[in-house]
Amino acid sequence: MLAHWDRVMNANYKKVRERCRKGIPPSVRPRAWLFLCGGKLLLEQSKTLYKELILQEGDARWVDDIRKDLHRQFPFHEMFVDQAGH
C-alpha cells in the first residue's frame, strides 16, 4: 500500500481507514504515519525548505527566549552545558 500510496488512497480510501482502525503494525508505523499525516507530500513539495530555513537568521526575540530556557529544558545535555559544567 505504501509503495503505491496515491493510487491506493484514491481507489481504496475506506480500506486504508479500516486497516488504520485495526492497528498499524509497529514495523511499518513510522512510514505509514509519514504518509497518513501528509508529511511525505510536504517533503516532496519542499525538498530544500529545511536547508533554506537553517541558513536564515532567527528572530532575535525568539532566539533570546530559547537561550534563556535551554538550561531549564536540557540541564544536563552536553550541547548546552557551559565550560564550567553549569
Which pLDDT score is estimated for 85? 55
DSSP character for 24?
A: -
The three three-digit cell numbers of residue 5, written as one number: 500510496
Tell me which residue has cell 552545558.
81
* Residues of the chain scoring pLDDT < 50: none
Q: Which three-class secondary structure state does DSSP give residue 42? A: helix
Task: Please answer whether residues 71 and 80 qualify as being in contact, where contact means their C-beta atoms are separated by less than 8 angstroms.
Answer: yes
Which pLDDT score is estimated for 8? 84
Work out whether the CA dihedral 7, 10, 11, 15 comes out positive or negative: positive
Which pLDDT score is estimated for 83? 60
